[in-house]
Chains A and B, each alone.
Chain A
Amino acid sequence: MTASVDVAAVIKQSFPQLVERPSGDHPAFSAPASDILTVLSFLRNSQGYDLLTDLTAIDNGEDTTPRFTVVYHVFSTTGHTYLRLAADCRDDRKPSIASVTSLWPGADWHEREVFDMFGITFDGHPDMRRILMWEGYPYHPLRKEFPLAGIETPLPDIEVSEETGTKVLPAPMAGGPFVTSSGEINMAKAEPRAKDESWNEKKEKPL
């Protein structure tokens, strides 16, 4: 099966409910969450988009509805073209969407990562667990309301936590986050350590 020359036209014709998304590179469409499996299996089975290169999500902000959007990047290994598909999740509080592991088994860990970072559950996923953070971690770190420094929580292991008296503590941001702009000429001022005021030679490191 080869990729269609004008896949955008084919999609518009086959799925009139899909809306074209502004895109700087590849054709991109927004699909209703209920149609995502149908559209993706159509693209895979009859349009040659046989490779799922990426599956990720967007948090549009706490007060935005719909809040979470899942993004799919598919690639045609025969036509050498990419296509982007986005679907808004149904619920803003408990977002969920259909799993595409039935089409691409490789989506398994991508969906677990999205679940871990955004808290979006994938219906029909064979093993919906966290993948990066530990089991029992109470937050989803890539959500907009989650601070980069983190939130105080107990360590994953209670015994070690009791033994060492250590907790998961917010990291000292010290004027950060540490994003150096390539436009800044003075590197001594642009470097992260220049902004670090939480501890130095004179001030002791907080325990």
Chain B
Amino acid sequence: MVSTNTEFAYNTKIEGDVVVTRADAVINWIRSNSVWPMPMGLACCAIELMATAASRFDIARFGAEVFRFSPRQADCMIVAGTVTYKMAPHLRRIYDQMAAPKWVIAMGACASSGGMYRSYATLQGVDRIVPVDVYVSGCPPRPEALLDALIKLQTKMRDERSAKRLMSA
């Protein structure tokens, strides 16, 4: 088909003020680019988490700079540090208080598997009490690793059947 239109970008003069897309694409685009993290800083990983949020690594480049210390306002819990059995129920309750949809990043060896803490006091992986979306290796992980995890999570979010879930909710 031969067309005289050489513009590939959207042009309101030709097509009007209408954009056609899929609901999933729009919802996921909005969600994935405005992740509000819940910082669950429990050990040294929290220092790297802070570094990730600060100017040098700048998590704002990925739209996730709005760290919320209230679970009601957050949608991605970043478990940064060693989860003891004493802390585990509180972590689960904070997770329960977060509004759906919600995601969890297990940051570092301790949150992912208990790490070097093979002892009576440490939960052997935060996935035993909350569903984890992305695991980050490292002890502690570098900020780049956490940013990579966030990008991975965004990729995962963009594949979700959000519209269907919203309708059935």
Tell me the A residues contacting B by CB distance below 8 Å: 132-134, 141, 146-151, 155-157, 159-161, 163-164, 166, 168-174, 176-178, 192, 205, 207
Contact = CB atoms under 8 A, between A and B. Distances in A.
Interface string B46-86: 00000000000000000000000000000000000000011
B124 A155 contact: no
Given A163-B92, A164-B128, A166-B128, A176 B120 contact: no
A161 B118 CA distance: 21
Nearest to B93: A160
Interface of A is mostly: loop
Given A155-B89, A166-B88, 15 more contacts: A141-B120, A141-B121, A146-B120, A147-B120, A148-B118, A151-B120, A156-B89, A157-B93, A160-B88, A160-B89, A168-B120, A171-B118, A171-B120, A172-B118, A172-B124
Interface of B: 85-86, 88-89, 92-93, 96, 113-114, 116-122, 124-125, 128-130
Given A166-B128, A171-B124, A172-B124, A178 B85 contact: no
Contacts of A132: 86, 121
A132 B87 CA distance: 11
B92 A177 contact: no
Given A133-B86, A155-B85, A156-B86, A164 B120 contact: no
A169 B114 CA distance: 12
A166 B129 contact: yes
A149 B121 CA distance: 9
Contact of A171 (B89, B92, B96, B114): B114
A192 B115 CA distance: 10
B86 A176 contact: no
8 contacts: A141-B120, A146-B120, A147-B120, A150-B119, A151-B120, A164-B129, A178-B116, A205-B113
Contacts of A173: 118
A160 B92 contact: yes
A178 B124 CA distance: 15
A43 B113 CA distance: 48
Contacts of A146: 120
Most interface-central of B86, B88, B118, B130 (chain A CB within 10 A): B118
Nearest to A148: B119
B114 to A, nearest CB: 7
Most interface-central of B92, B116, B130 (chain A CB within 10 A): B92
A139 to B, nearest CB: 8
Nearest to B113: A205
A157 B88 CA distance: 9
Given A134-B86, A166-B129, A171 B119 contact: yes
A171 B122 contact: yes
Nearest to B86: A134
A168 B89 contact: no
Nearest to B90: A157
Nearest to B122: A171
A89 to B, nearest CB: 23
A149 B120 contact: yes
B90 to A, nearest CB: 8
Given A160-B93, A171-B114, A150 B121 contact: yes
Contacts of A170: 120
Contact of B92 (A164, A176, A207): A164
